[in-house]
Structure 1
């Protein structure tokens, strides 16, 4: 297994080398400039759309399978997962506290990327033979760029991420470890229960998945955030130093952490951006697959709603996890990793230690379970694009089987595999976002002009 890990590590270093990092962040920077800092100036409107009344939900003329909020929750169910607890822990452990700063940078520009993905998802979506909405990068690559072969490559990598990346192994492994930490439940029992529950939900299709996500996502996010707030209140004096260390070590790790840490700016940046993408999936091309199912006639409105996913996921939840790790100084504990490291931070940071243990691991169980459901849907849409609707049932059975074995693979290998397929999936999508940036800019300009002329009601 060690040899296999070393081989995948080398592949990962090639995939996540400077070219992809530049393409990923550069796309976000380019879209940010072209859209005039939309993620800053239009964020209040985006949040208003998320928390306000959804008029299109009951509009018979609006096309789609689920509400815009349900589509966001489905996307968030896939993004708010192990990346927020386990991913942040591994990023800071191996990249230093400065990795969190680079997660912020990637997330800020990633909001513009996520917005563009949401716009294009609605613009180029289609109705499949089952009468359901299908959309995402494979469709805007084909219909927008006219490159169907590149769309198929994206879809193939999308299935790979669902099977071997974010979708199955990392999540089941996290759930299994959490139930073992909390209740000492054997891995076999947890894997069996999770497999059965996943099968019950995903065999019901997108509407059942979205209903579970719509109920679970807000609850689990609030539960975890309140837990972190409690930890930060208990350690409020350490917060200024933690923030200073995060920023300083992002640019000068040796000075901030000591020369013996062996962490460079390049390592901090790679870990931060890589784990940031693992967590919020901006640029990966996954969120627009869920966005395409939204009941709406406005690409821009759905783009704004989709954009908030990165804000909630990274700017809020990942930041809270990162601060918990740094204020308690457990990030440098080489004896622990992943969920165990974050659990240790909560046990140290909250006076009644057992409360911290339950906050982290119950939160992680919910996060990971809904991520499994969300990524099943993404992989299913990619399968339908390549193989047609006849490929959906075999895909679901394979997915369920992979969920069953996810608990028994080593964590480090899981994250390396996830990084590789994530990077490969992102490349075709980023090419499309750059190529179709003119379409995004046009739709955006037209929408806000219509608002000024009162052709669009934002109330």
Structure 2
């Protein structure tokens, strides 16, 4: 296991950062920096039409349901635990590099969502299905495309099966604080997840479109209360973020200090990890959306990264910095930083309780979509019947998380995650010309983009 841990740490050092950040920069340039040029239009078509029910084009769920399902898998523990960990290891400057990776990650996520719709198919049950498996095998006209797609589907399935017990422990440990036995909470999760996932993509969309906005709004409101309660420290917080991005930060309190390289490494890694740009995972949800053009759904992919990393991760970072908690906790205790900040503002019982509820909702929604994604990967590789069987395997993994030992599981997860990202990013670069054509077709047509020249 020590060797596996070393391999995982090396992979998630320069190799993965070069692949993810470098790939995002390449796609940003290839697509003409569209996330800057069309920023206002992107918000008008996403945030401005978030609850619009009348959608154009074919699909199994609404664009907002697709976004909610995608956000359900990305908004989770990484937003609450990952951000303080990045600050603890890289200093406040890590937040700046998190923003940078989010900006280039918007091009990556646009590419994934657009390709998800462009190469989607209908399965035997009449549902639209898509994702890396489909756009790689259908978009790349050679055996290489099928190999890359199969690799993505297989390793993504393995990664989900391995991560479900870890996600489950987040819930069982949270509920154990109010004296609910782990097995009881795990069985409750199994029942909820089973009902939702066996209901199909429409059921997943219906549940997540209600759950995700609620949990995100509650968390953001409470975070803003804490930030504004410490409003006098907001200028100092941004100063620490920008200065720390380009200069070494000295040790203070529980913070051991960090250099520029550490700020870049931890900020970039946690940023990409939180929004999943480069995994291709959320394109599975986007592929089911009702839309009149693949690039239109790609705009929702851009908004997804903005909401996950620029908004929620930033709120978490500011909560930890403005309260001064980042100075008090060591890297080993970083996971408790947000809980301590909430407790400092709302009291130990209410603050800890409300954060526990937020974590519970975040993780539950993540598990629901992860099981749905795992089922789809099994269907891609082995057919619908095996997809149903693998769903029961997923439910077994959830139960295992209630009492199984998960030592060193994160190292295994990081390696399998890298095995998903590598073929996907290679495929995105190979298909970047197709995405550029779709982007140009969308923004040059007055039917889709009012600013286009007639």
**With structure 2 as the length reference, what TM-score do the two structures score?**
0.91
Cα distance per residue 1:88-133 (max 9 Å; x no partner): 2222223332222221111111011111111111111111222211
Cα distance per residue 1:282-325 (max 9 Å; x no partner): 11111111110011131110000121111000100011111111
**Which position in structure 2 is the counterpart of 1:112?**
107
How large is the Cα RMSD of the aligned pairs? 2.5
Matched, 1:228 2:223: yes
**Which position in structure 2 is the counterpart of 1:213?**
208
Instruction: Label 1:378 to 1:395 Cα distance change in 2 as closer, same or farther (>3 A).
Output: same
Would you say the 8 A contact 1:104–1:315 is kept in 2?
yes
Name the SS of the counterpart of 1:263 in structure 2.
coil
**Which position in structure 1 is the counterpart of 2:175?**
179
Instruction: Report matched runs for 1:216-365 at 5 Å.
Output: 216-255=211-250, 261=256, 263-331=258-326, 332-334=328-330, 337=333, 339-348=335-344, 350=345, 352-365=347-360
| Cα distance in 2 between the residues matched to 1:8 and 1:248 | 35
Would you say the 8 A contact 1:245–1:256 is kept in 2?
no
Would you say the 8 A contact 1:75–1:291 is kept in 2?
yes
| Cα distance in 1 between the residues matched to 2:255 and 2:331 | 17
Name the SS of the counterpart of 1:253 in structure 2.
coil
Would you say the 8 A contact 1:43–1:308 is kept in 2?
no
**Which position in structure 2 is the counterpart of 1:400?**
395
**Which position in structure 2 is the counterpart of 1:41?**
37
**Which position in structure 1 is the counterpart of 2:140?**
145
Would you say the 8 A contact 1:84–1:317 is kept in 2?
yes
**Which position in structure 2 is the counterpart of 1:379?**
374
Matched, 1:195 2:193: no
**Which position in structure 2 is the counterpart of 1:18?**
14
Cα distance per residue 1:47-88 (max 9 Å; x no partner): 2222445899556x7221111110010001111111111222
Would you say the 8 A contact 1:130–1:389 is kept in 2?
no
Instruction: Label 1:57 to 1:232 Cα distance change in 2 as closer, same or farther (>3 A).
Output: closer
| Cα distance in 1 between the residues matched to 2:155 and 2:353 | 35
Would you say the 8 A contact 2:42–2:303 is kept in 1?
yes
| Cα distance in 1 between the residues matched to 2:308 and 2:287 | 20
Matched, 1:157 2:132: no
Give 1:251 shift. 3.1
Cα distance per residue 1:252-276 (max 9 Å; x no partner): 3344759982634333333222222
Would you say the 8 A contact 1:209–1:373 is kept in 2?
yes
Instruction: Report matched runs for 1:28-107 at 5 Å.
Output: 28-53=24-49, 58=54, 62-107=57-102
Name the SS of the counterpart of 1:385 in structure 2.
helix
Which moved further from structure 2: 24-33 or 335-344? 335-344
Give 1:142 shift. 0.9
| Cα distance in 1 between the residues matched to 2:67 and 2:265 | 28
Name the SS of the counterpart of 1:337 in structure 2.
helix
Cα distance per residue 1:189-214 (max 9 Å; x no partner): 32222222222222222111111101
